[in-house]
Chain A
């Protein structure tokens, strides 16, 4: 249990996917202008991350690199995982559009954008590279998604202030956002060592 909590908190705070691993920067800059869209996007990302891990981990463990060592198709990981993620996102979109229209209204517009969010492919591959079992992988994926949400929500607050601030013309828009993201990232660097102290 302690180990799971350690994985969860280090994925949310210490090794935050956006601010320390640089994954999913595009939506981080792209949809952080409004808090509502930042929240919708991060809920959709968290859901897709956990579900893709649930699909890709068994595919890797039982089909690509089975434990009996009969074959090793590990090199097909990137290709298989991205296809699984793309198909899964499409499937979810179709299903919730048909059966859960309110949910579709809230998340639907963000779903197609997620296939090429590198944080999703990143978390599924990192789970395998780190040698996590299925439970640990799911917790890590959940943590990565929540970390994405924390970063996006925090940053959308910062961003709303910047939009109204009087920045030099050359910094208007994305440059100012990037510099502000640097300051947010510096504050997240303060979480280093937190997990070791709490759970170590």
Chain B
């Protein structure tokens, strides 16, 4: 397993957003403009990298029964760090991200990578994996954000593209447009990959079960559990 392989798998083959369908909340909420999407992506990448490195370093210290609370504390620590940094250096982004900055803590990508990768692999590999996943997340957000900003507001990174002639389509900047653009993009990714996507089962603990990626698995499991009771 080479480091470059760990890095590149997160960008296309196992893209956390478009292939694994993790972290959908920020993907929809923070993509009304390309610049917000980029900011959210970078902030999340930083938290992902930091917490995966620390979790990988501590993997032999953290008892497995209480690992999830430990991971959450580490992740929340990095989120606090990021919000301090943004507050001081990029106050505009800080106010735009708002509550979603705090909500990076419960982004399933981070807990998912911590559980599925960082807790089992060396620091170097975990860092490469986290960085790749972060870049993949950022690129996906940037893509959704660009489409929504160009169609919904007629601009890209604030640069006007309407030339005073074209009318933007406001619904793309609204919540409804977010769902639709993201849905269409997932469909296109399905098409491009010739339906070969194998959504890896991450185990319900990894994303705490609620996420779209392991939904089928968890539904089936919970039913089984019900049956056993």
Contacts and interface: CB of A to CB of B under 8 A. Distances in A.
Contacts of A79: 73, 76-77, 79-80
Contact of A116 (B24, B84, B111): B111
A65 interface: no
Contacts of A195: none
B178 interface: yes
Interface stretch (A3-11, A53-61, A118-126, A138-146): A118-126
B215 A129 contact: no
A83 B77 CA distance: 12
B176 A182 contact: yes
Interface residues of B, number: 57
A175 interface: yes
Contact of B186 (A27, A168, A178): A178
Contacts of B26: 22
B85 to A, nearest CB: 12
Interface of B: 21, 24-26, 28-29, 68-69, 72-73, 76-77, 79-80, 83-84, 98-99, 102-103, 105-108, 111, 171, 174-180, 182-184, 186-188, 190-191, 195, 204, 207-212, 214-215, 218-219, 222, 225-226, 229
21 contacts: A22-B29, A37-B222, A78-B76, A79-B77, A79-B80, A82-B72, A105-B229, A116-B108, A117-B208, A118-B103, A125-B103, A129-B99, A170-B187, A170-B190, A174-B21, A175-B187, A175-B190, A177-B183, A178-B182, A183-B176, A185-B178
**Nearest 8 Cβ contacts at the A-B interface:** A178-B183, A182-B179, A30-B215, A22-B29, A182-B180, A186-B176, A175-B187, A116-B208
